Chain A
Amino acid sequence: MQFVIAETLEHALELMASGSRPIAGGTDLVVGARQGKEPLPDALVAIDRLGVLASIDGGTGEDGEIVIGACVSHATIAGHGDIIDLVPGLADGSSLVGSPATRHVGTIGGNIMNASPAMDTGAPLLAAGAAVEVASTRGSRLLAVADLWLGPGQTSVDSDELCVAVHIPRPGPRTSSAYVRLEYRRTMEIAVVGAGAQVSLSDDGSVASASVALTAVAPVIIAVQGLSEVVGLQPGEAARTVARLASEQSRPISDLRASDRYRRHTVGVMASRAVLAACRRAAGEEIAVPVNRSEGIGAGYPGDAVANTTADGVEL
């Protein structure tokens, strides 16, 4: 096997043009190979030391867009002030991925490009209308995440293209987001189902606009359709409507983690809880990241606002 540490982004793209596959955190690639899912590629190019892929621009540019480098770790995103302020739903998702070790080496670029329907960053990004920036020796392009995922492990990106950044439109006023997932334990967990919501509120507290995306109920992360139905509704009613739409539109499988019937039901519960949390945040309430812990969803403890500590307060 050939393993090259890229010196520059251009160097990495050249190696990818000649067939190398990129590696950053390696949390999917190596685990997948060990489980026999897919053998390790013959040629790897390490991109984890490229500073250009490791920064977060929290909306300082002209259009106020938030740009997250592909090699930014989940732990960095989960603790980043601008992300928590502007797109807390993404921070919710990033703070739930795997274990502390996974979050410290695993990257947002890897999570997105691995295209698992159970990924925790996908639903918040889709709900936020995010796009990925991919680059190759042929140039670069922006691609809406809605157009990125084709199926489990499959994307619409060519094999020589490298994900370099994620672009998130700056949310407007009275707009916020949340991501919640159904989980059976507090760490080392994968979403049974999940839901990300981004909601804008009108001055009277009703929903002005909403977008909701669902985790692990279809071959890809899917957006809930027909959300114009909830415009003008108060949060409680909107959440109930979203729950119904989410359950109706999900196409879950039955596997070891859950039956399709249970997933179809619980994705509605998660969607409802995500919408309610997003509405409360949009109204100015602070709900600590991740919502799962602060609201006691899944295996979290009620009122436990601190992620990654044991019941005795020991940091993990």
Chain B
Amino acid sequence: MQQGSGTTKFVRADGPDKVTGSGRYAADMVLPGMLFAAFRYAEVSHARIVELDVEAARSMPGVLAVLTDDDVPDVRYGAGVADRTLFARGVVRFEGEVVAAVAATTPEAARSAADAIVFEYEELPAIVDVEQAIEPVSPLVHAGWEDYEASTERGHNVASYSSITLGDTDTALAAAHTVVTSRYVADASHAVPIEPRAVLAQWEGDKVTIWSSTQVPFDAQAGVCETLEMPANRVRVVVPHLGGGFGGKCGFHFEAHVAALARAARRPVKLVFTRREEFTAPDRRREGMVIELTSGLDADGRIVARTGEVLIDCGAYIADGAFFPQVASMHIAGPYSIPNVSIEASLVYTNHQPSGSVRAPTAPQGCWAVESHTDELAETVGLDPVEFRRLNAVREGATGPSGQVYGPIGLLDCIDAAVASASYGTDLAADEAVGVAVGWWPTFAVPSGAYVKINGDGSGQIITGAQECGTGSVMTLCQLAAEEVGLNPEDFQLVYQDTAAGPWDMGATGSQTLVNNGRAVVAASQQIADALKKLAADQLEASPDDIELLEGQARVVGTPAASIAIGELAAIAAGGELLLGHGSGPPPVAPEISATCVGDQGMAAWVAPQFSCHAIRVKVDRDTGVVRVLSVAAAHDSGTIINPMGAQGQVHGGVLMGIGQALSEGTVYDDRGNQMNPGLLEYKLQTIADAPPISIDFVGVAAPDGGPRGSKGIAEAPNVATAAAIANGIAKVVGARLTQLPMKPERVWEASSGAAEAGGR
């Protein structure tokens, strides 16, 4: 197995800071005269505001600002649907909606003042069930939805609708040898970064600097510009070290609230969330889903048709969820060659906390459903689940479920590698089994930019708009730049996570940093390489085309003695034309597809798709339903691997997060739409002590339409197929299928005892 092109193991530039505790996070920052922010939340999931009186709070000692909807520009915003305001306006639609914000001299004074705000309301019926919400008789979450500016396909309590239609499913299902229908329900869950978010804002004249624990500084900047009506060059967002994100810190959240407080109070203001706030307030939650799907097979076990209906719990506002229905549809279709497909998906408004991109949104749930269904299909036709997948999986030259024809891809290689690593098919104890699942995830092709410079002393600097959330993705940029200009990765320092310094980048989201910002860094570095070659050519009396840059030297190809140190060239450049490069590079173009897509969000045509197969050995305690994951074999086609250590770290983290989603992580709601477990005692994350041995194979198929060197993304893919593989292992042991995620011990026990009673074990 190829382990990637990168051979150098290098220490992450931010590693020592984080490990020794000298690194600074947003909450650690202190500015002279700084105030503290506190929010007043709705604390009720659906209500009409009757009275909101902040006068008493404003007059409390130490309070310098209290803001409500009346105190900020009249702007309604939101990607796809402008359904959101900074502060609640007239109606509150989820428990964590911000009604008012306070800035005071101490956190305690701010909290007391927020509590002293008079907030009276009349409760409205809470809309908490997606299947009921789409019925015409259901009350609306947004009564005025038809007047909102929108670019999505919408309906009654539907924020975004998408469909994928290929071929003719009616005819194909009628002619099918076997038809199987399944229904699966996934509970909502959370990203749970260990660092709860913090935001600090400081004004200088008409410019504001905002330090925020965000994964997407340019998105945060755009949100501030839109809601506070400011140009981008007066809003600077800086991200200190980020204590994890997992998608939970994507999107624009509270930067404008804090900036508005700081402007009103004429002092720097800092907001630091508690764990409870981190659970309840952000527009960010892994969406609950209800999934129904039907597949028709021919006599040989080939999937000839698939229909599906997916309802996704949007929560109260659309956040970044407009594309969720289409990406969910692709997951319900799965990485299979199916000639007839008809899948519809709706993002349904409820009075829950808004959903937003958490590490591969909709994918672990969709994959869990479709891969559980796939094992059911295999059983129906008497095929081994692995053989069934080999028969139906997409491969080079095959047409996928949206009608995309694939170039070189490694899904079959992933299946081979994972089942081999897991010793699939060997005898196991009666309470153990290996479950297998395949998954996929797109590579997001978006613009990105970077500057590179070589200083007079030969050291290098990359100034990039890229952001990292703990993944180390930006560290790989040094490797790419070094390879282009003939230096070592350690010769480069990064300036990043600052909107005033680097060019635009989408941020630590969509597994896109290496693919897109890597492309930009390579383009910028190539300009420098060209300049170095010209300088060397002058010095060595050769043609620039004959110069190679290697190991800190510029050499004439074929004449190793004719060389000059890059440091010397840098010194020469420092006295003349400086070594500066800038790059962006054209993003790859989306492939053609033949499916018909209503409500198209560009999510059915996948650039450089990533594939994976996980084979997971589980042990089930049938008497209690407790499932232990004994080992994980994860095989991934993420294209060419540039930084193997970083890529392996992503797989370790993604798998462990996937185990949590599979077994223990689920948000529980009361019937009024309020979270019942917004804390780390009752929301059960997996711990490092629960981590099983994880073996990793990168099958390394270079992507012609990927990033540098044929790379693809890797950050989200590893948790796509994890819950699915665990589910298939559990089903083998207990003789019954779990139809609700997470597969908590009590649910496993119910399924197991039900199967035992039915004599089905």
Contact = CB atoms under 8 A, between A and B. Distances in A.
B624 A299 contact: no
A300 B690 CA distance: 8
B624 A266 contact: yes
A256 B664 contact: no
Interface stretch (A129-137, A183-191, A278-286): A183-191
Interface string A25-69: 000000000010000000000000000000000000000000000
A269 B624 contact: yes
B679 to A, nearest CB: 8
Contact of A187 (B679, B682, B687): B687
Interface in A236-293: 256-259, 262, 265-266, 269
B151 to A, nearest CB: 40
B684 interface: yes
Nearest to B274: A34
A208 to B, nearest CB: 27
Nearest to A257: B682
Interface in B662-694: 663-664, 668, 676-677, 679-682, 684-693
A316 B740 CA distance: 33
Given A185-B687, A256-B668, A256-B677, A312 B693 contact: yes
Interface residues of B, number: 30
Interface in A181-237: 182-188, 190, 192
Given A188-B687, A310-B688, A300 B628 contact: yes
Given A258-B746, A262-B746, A186 B624 contact: no
Contacts of B691: 310-312
A256 B681 CA distance: 10
A298 interface: yes
Contacts of A310: 688-689, 691
B745 interface: yes
B630 interface: yes
Contacts of A258: 746
A237 B31 CA distance: 69
A186 B689 contact: yes
B687 A184 contact: no
A192 B687 CA distance: 17
Nearest to B684: A184
Contacts of B621: 297
A269 B623 contact: yes
Nearest to A256: B682
Nearest to B619: A302
A247 to B, nearest CB: 12
A301 B630 contact: yes
B749 interface: yes
A256 B744 CA distance: 11
B565 interface: no
A312 B693 CA distance: 7
Nearest to B623: A269
A311 B693 contact: yes
Most buried by A among B623, B624, B664, B679: B624
A262 B744 CA distance: 12
A301 B623 contact: no
B659 to A, nearest CB: 10
Interface in B276-308: none
A151 interface: no
A186 B689 CA distance: 6
B484 to A, nearest CB: 37
Contact of A190 (B677, B681, B692): B681
B626 interface: yes
Nearest to A263: B746
Contact of B686 (A185, A301, A309): A185
Interface string A116-144: 00000000000000000000000000000
A162 B604 CA distance: 68
A176 to B, nearest CB: 23
A247 B682 CA distance: 24
Nearest to B746: A262
Task: Determine which residue in B621, B679, B692 has the highest number of CB atoms from chain A within 10 A of its CB, and name it.
Answer: B621
B687 A186 contact: yes
A155 interface: no
A255 B690 CA distance: 24
Contacts of A308: 689
A187 B685 CA distance: 10
B690 A299 contact: yes
B603 to A, nearest CB: 35
A154 B686 CA distance: 32
A190 B628 CA distance: 17
B626 A184 contact: yes
A308 B690 CA distance: 10
A312 B619 CA distance: 18
Contacts of A79: none
Contact of B689 (A182, A185, A302): A185
B628 A301 contact: yes
Contacts of B684: 184-185
A120 to B, nearest CB: 15
Nearest to B692: A311
Nearest to A265: B749
Contacts of A190: 681
Contacts of A186: 687, 689-690
A226 to B, nearest CB: 23
Contacts of A187: 687, 689-690
A296 interface: yes
A190 B682 CA distance: 10
Contact of B664 (A185, A296, A312): A185
Contact of A262 (B619, B681, B685, B749): B749
Contacts of B630: 301
A296 B630 CA distance: 11
A312 B664 CA distance: 22
Interface string B585-596: 000000000000
A266 B753 CA distance: 12
Contacts of A182: 624, 626, 745
A299 B628 contact: yes
A310 B692 CA distance: 8
Centre residue among B664, B686, B688, B745 by max chain A CB count within 10 A:
B745
A57 to B, nearest CB: 33
Interface in B623-663: 623-624, 626, 628, 630, 663
Contacts of B745: 182, 184, 192
A17 to B, nearest CB: 31
A256 B678 CA distance: 11
B690 A185 contact: yes
Contacts of A297: 621
Given A190-B681, A310-B689, A184 B623 contact: no
A299 B681 CA distance: 16
B456 to A, nearest CB: 45
Contacts of B689: 185-187, 308-310, 316
Contacts of B663: 184
Nearest to A100: B689
Interface in B196-254: none
B701 to A, nearest CB: 30
Nearest to A35: B679
Contacts of A266: 623-624, 749
Interface in B418-471: none
Nearest to B749: A262
Contact of B676 (A185, A256, A265, A300): A256
Interface in A56-89: none
Interface of A: 35, 182-188, 190, 192, 256-259, 262, 265-266, 269, 296-302, 308-312, 316
Given A185-B687, A187-B690, 9 more contacts: A184-B663, A184-B745, A185-B689, A185-B690, A259-B746, A266-B623, A269-B623, A298-B624, A312-B691
19 contacts: A35-B679, A182-B624, A182-B745, A185-B664, A186-B689, A187-B690, A188-B687, A256-B677, A262-B749, A269-B624, A299-B628, A302-B619, A308-B689, A310-B688, A310-B689, A311-B691, A312-B691, A316-B688, A316-B689
